[in-house]
Chains A and B, each alone.
Chain A
């Protein structure tokens, strides 16, 4: 029986002490007031926002993935954007439900282990750190090794901002040298309270296999259906922009375009007009050969721009091409273009009618991306409803680019960098990850018998404001600045008397005087008690 939480303590050396420090920080943070939390979250969001460009540029440079301006947008959305989204929401103050005779007291998870991906690196660091802080959790960021430097640096920046705003020391930490064995140990360690796993399937499955509570999300493979009722011109614009967003490195970027035959030619024309290159059969085959040389995705293409990919594949396209569209005929797993591409390459299949389109979307999601997202461009609610019911995904974005639609940047879904894929996608989370997922509530429940009244709870809060650094610096206890015992009544009395006499005495006289008064008062009190 070691003096550890119930469960394995698996992380060696310094990283283990990082978890231990996080536990201390979480313990302290758990008593912070709503005002404290607002101040800290604002400070962190502000500093993240102010550095959105720097880290967008750094992330692209370090990983080779994506587009700086799009990463800037996500970094902003995941900093001040989150403040706006959750303005007025409070995950700290107890909630009183008078009619139910229930009072809910929030209880943070504790130590959040935040795994962040290479594709969406710093935005995810911002996102998970701010969510953790909104809910009074400590967070340990474990970046993907490919994005280690920018993520570690960003996490350190947020950590400093948090502590400067009064957060407990160690509230945000990050792993400087992530390795697979270390990350596995962090996930399995009982000092981790919840794992937020965004990344490849391997890491998500490992998170669920760790024995610790985990929120991991599955991969995407987004079908987008354009039916004959869609506004084709606008749709084309939205599709190309969304597909080009961050070089399509996100799990929310469209993967396969399913278009109703009746509007297909028009859509192709409109898409070409705004920067898509729709390939012929020969070029599509060249693209297949380059992108899926042995049936599996060539990772060189991930997050690269369309011109580069075209050039590598031996395809001639215009200089302003943002998206390559590769037509194919049959939506079956052996067709490489039905799989996730993580690059600005969109598979395209024509279908005779909307019903076939819906069945095709089902076929795409059967191959990969269950529980994730699908998009539809349509003005027919019945088709949208049928699509949502039949395609096993948990969000359907309508008449919007899916990359910013499913992630809540251009819809009213919760803005997120972590898309819950639900039971169908082997995840515990079915929604977009948001602060509420990182807090439990202790429910005070009164007897429902009307005869038993629940007293008033309004204004009662178990938390208090924090003004000084936490923990306090360990000054010697005889240092004047060290914390003292709470003043007793006797001290208060002496203070009152002292206030009247202190003006003409030295501090030594004052101390002696106080001691004398103290002795007199104590003596008197003990007489009273004995008498």
Chain B
């Protein structure tokens, strides 16, 4: 009997059966078929426990949602306290929480971003960004990257891989042209008709396995945007909040975007919230028709409290220093593992604690993911490039936990290399 106060299950098997029956049959089956029988139960810091009681180090973090760890005590305390005074709030009116967070976000952001609009999740935030760009530029086209991922809402899904847009008959290639990543001539080609409202870029495309922008690429894209009168939207959902060793990854490129989107980790993993930071130009609609985008839960005041605390923690000089230490140790540790398996573990894409580990097999990351799972580490393959494992250590990890993680990772990578399926496919 597993008793969770609000509900209970007799067994994990019963739970999985009901999950397939009432919730999502395909997703439930997908993980069973993948050899990942995970049902997350207890969670604390960077550790998860399966319903079976098995402990896992979490380096998936649900895309950075748990950047500060699961149930970060400071965020939990802030939200608990806030619940004695606040609730979701009322989006119609000037709001205490939304205003306080907006000020903090603007203060933290690259120059030129002066206004904040709120969403209840990253997809909605991307929709707001795209709508803002269209309104400001009075143009429809949005250029994104092939294999981009910006969420699943109406406009956001159209910027991404057609796997998700076609499923729901939501692909609109004429309004949402895509260009290959790191291909400047293609980008220029797409922009030079001057009919593009904005280019949307993840600073490092996460779901595509964190391929790194070539040195100078993002800077050149920004210059092209200026040349052809398009806005630059920095999707910082996965690269923001100190994951690259600076609060916003885009600042490492010296870029001042017209729009910056934050989500996932902004919630502290406790209360959903996402935010769009807009320049005066991009946020013009906020002066014209403030009811232009309405979101009951967007910027819920409890979420604002979670985000304020998250932002405060992430900006501490101590935390920035810790992230640099973690990145340093993880990077050097992985390079050592790589030296043992140069033909199998063929690449390390790293910017801070954003990492993509490349393996020499079309689905290499799935093998490594399974071995890691067996060895008590949860990391996920990249949906849009399963050669690459997403490897995302938290920004508050302790030295001991990083060392333990590296030990487990080294073993998992060599076990995956020895998997007969891997050697067969590699040879062929």
A interface residues with partner B (beta carbon < 8 Å): 1-5, 12-14, 17-18, 20-21, 23-25, 27-28, 169-170, 173, 470-480, 482-486, 488
Known: A14-B318, A478-B212, A478-B349. A169 touches B44 (CB 8 A): no
Known: A14-B316, A485-B335. A476 touches B322 (CB 8 A): no
Are B215's CB and A23's CB within 8 A? Answer: no
**How long is the Cα–Cα vector from A484 to B348 in the complex, in angstroms?**
10
Known: A2-B44, A477-B351. A28 touches B398 (CB 8 A): no
Contacts of B215 in A (CB 8 A): 476, 478-480
Closest to B348 in A: A477
Known: A478-B212, A483-B332. A20 touches B318 (CB 8 A): yes
Are A474's CB and B323's CB within 8 A? Answer: yes
Q: Which of B318, B351, B399 has the most CB of A within 10 A?
A: B318
Report if B401 contacts A (CB, 8 A): yes
- Please list 25 pairs of residues, one from A and one from B, whose beta carbons are closer than 8 Å in the complex, sorted by A's number: A1-B55, A2-B44, A2-B45, A12-B73, A17-B318, A17-B319, A20-B318, A20-B322, A21-B318, A24-B322, A27-B325, A169-B324, A173-B318, A470-B328, A472-B324, A473-B245, A474-B323, A474-B324, A474-B353, A476-B213, A477-B350, A478-B212, A482-B350, A484-B335, A485-B335
Closest to A469 in B: B324
Report if B8 contacts A (CB, 8 A): no
**How long is the Cα–Cα vector from A475 to B215 in the complex, in angstroms?**
11
**How long is the Cα–Cα vector from A5 to B324 in the complex, in angstroms?**
21
Are B339's CB and A28's CB within 8 A? Answer: no
Known: A2-B47, A471-B328. A486 touches B399 (CB 8 A): no
Contacts of A12 in B (CB 8 A): 73-74
Are A476's CB and B212's CB within 8 A? Answer: yes
A347: shortest Cβ distance to chain B, in Å?
Answer: 48
**How long is the Cα–Cα vector from A170 to B398 in the complex, in angstroms?**
15
Known: A477-B331, A479-B215. A24 touches B325 (CB 8 A): yes
Contacts of A23 in B (CB 8 A): 398-399
**How long is the Cα–Cα vector from A471 to B327 in the complex, in angstroms?**
9
Are A3's CB and B321's CB within 8 A? Answer: no
Partner of A483, one of B45, B331, B396, B398: B331
Are A170's CB and B399's CB within 8 A? Answer: no
Contacts of B332 in A (CB 8 A): 483
Closest to A526 in B: B343
Contacts of B342 in A (CB 8 A): 488
Partner of B324, one of A1, A471, A477: A471
7 further interface pairs, Cβ-Cβ under 8 Å (given A25-B325, A170-B321): A4-B45, A13-B74, A17-B316, A24-B325, A24-B326, A476-B215, A485-B338
**How long is the Cα–Cα vector from A488 to B342 in the complex, in angstroms?**
10
Report if B189 contacts A (CB, 8 A): no
Known: A14-B316, A486-B339. A21 touches B398 (CB 8 A): no
**How long is the Cα–Cα vector from A173 to B350 in the complex, in angstroms?**
29
B interface residues with partner A (beta carbon < 8 Å): 44-47, 55, 57, 73-74, 212-215, 244-245, 252, 313, 316, 318-319, 321-329, 331-332, 335, 338-339, 342, 348-353, 396-401
Known: A24-B325, A476-B212, A480-B215. A3 touches B400 (CB 8 A): yes
Are B349's CB and A20's CB within 8 A? Answer: no
**How long is the Cα–Cα vector from A228 to B349 in the complex, in angstroms?**
81
Contacts of B73 in A (CB 8 A): 12
**How long is the Cα–Cα vector from A476 to B245 in the complex, in angstroms?**
10
Contacts of A484 in B (CB 8 A): 335
Contacts of A480 in B (CB 8 A): 215
Known: A21-B322, A170-B321, A483-B331. A474 touches B245 (CB 8 A): yes
**How long is the Cα–Cα vector from A9 to B391 in the complex, in angstroms?**
27
A170: shortest Cβ distance to chain B, in Å?
Answer: 5
- The 10 A-B residue pairs with the shortest CB-CB distance, nearest first, are A474-B245, A471-B328, A17-B318, A24-B325, A477-B350, A3-B401, A474-B327, A474-B352, A476-B351, A21-B318
Partner of A24, one of B321, B338, B351, B353: B321
Closest to B204 in A: A476
**How long is the Cα–Cα vector from A450 to B68 in the complex, in angstroms?**
57
**How long is the Cα–Cα vector from A21 to B319 in the complex, in angstroms?**
7
Contacts of A482 in B (CB 8 A): 350
A410: shortest Cβ distance to chain B, in Å?
Answer: 41
Contacts of B353 in A (CB 8 A): 474
**How long is the Cα–Cα vector from A23 to B399 in the complex, in angstroms?**
8
Contacts of A24 in B (CB 8 A): 321-322, 325-326, 399
A159: shortest Cβ distance to chain B, in Å?
Answer: 11
Closest to A12 in B: B74
Contacts of B335 in A (CB 8 A): 483-486
Closest to B73 in A: A12
A107: shortest Cβ distance to chain B, in Å?
Answer: 15
A207: shortest Cβ distance to chain B, in Å?
Answer: 23
Contacts of B313 in A (CB 8 A): 17
Are A21's CB and B321's CB within 8 A? Answer: yes
A172: shortest Cβ distance to chain B, in Å?
Answer: 12
A308: shortest Cβ distance to chain B, in Å?
Answer: 42
Are B46's CB and A477's CB within 8 A? Answer: no
**How long is the Cα–Cα vector from A2 to B43 in the complex, in angstroms?**
10
B270: shortest Cβ distance to chain A, in Å?
Answer: 16
Contacts of A477 in B (CB 8 A): 212, 331, 348-351
**How long is the Cα–Cα vector from A186 to B301 in the complex, in angstroms?**
33
Closest to A19 in B: B318
Contacts of B74 in A (CB 8 A): 12-13
Are B351's CB and A4's CB within 8 A? Answer: no
Contacts of A2 in B (CB 8 A): 44-45, 47
A26: shortest Cβ distance to chain B, in Å?
Answer: 9
A281: shortest Cβ distance to chain B, in Å?
Answer: 59
Closest to A13 in B: B74
A490: shortest Cβ distance to chain B, in Å?
Answer: 9
Are A476's CB and B318's CB within 8 A? Answer: no
Contacts of A474 in B (CB 8 A): 244-245, 323-324, 327-328, 331, 350-353
B34: shortest Cβ distance to chain A, in Å?
Answer: 26
Are B399's CB and A169's CB within 8 A? Answer: no
Known: A474-B327, A474-B328, A476-B212. A17 touches B244 (CB 8 A): no
Closest to A481 in B: B215
Are B328's CB and A472's CB within 8 A? Answer: yes
Q: Which of A12, A27, A479 has the most CB of B within 10 A?
A: A27
Known: A473-B245, A483-B331, A483-B332. A5 touches B339 (CB 8 A): no
Are A5's CB and B400's CB within 8 A? Answer: yes
Are B324's CB and A3's CB within 8 A? Answer: no
Closest to B249 in A: A476
**How long is the Cα–Cα vector from A17 to B69 in the complex, in angstroms?**
14
Closest to B351 in A: A476
Are A478's CB and B214's CB within 8 A? Answer: yes
Known: A2-B47, A27-B399. A169 touches B351 (CB 8 A): no
Are B46's CB and A3's CB within 8 A? Answer: yes
Contacts of B316 in A (CB 8 A): 14, 17
A484: shortest Cβ distance to chain B, in Å?
Answer: 8
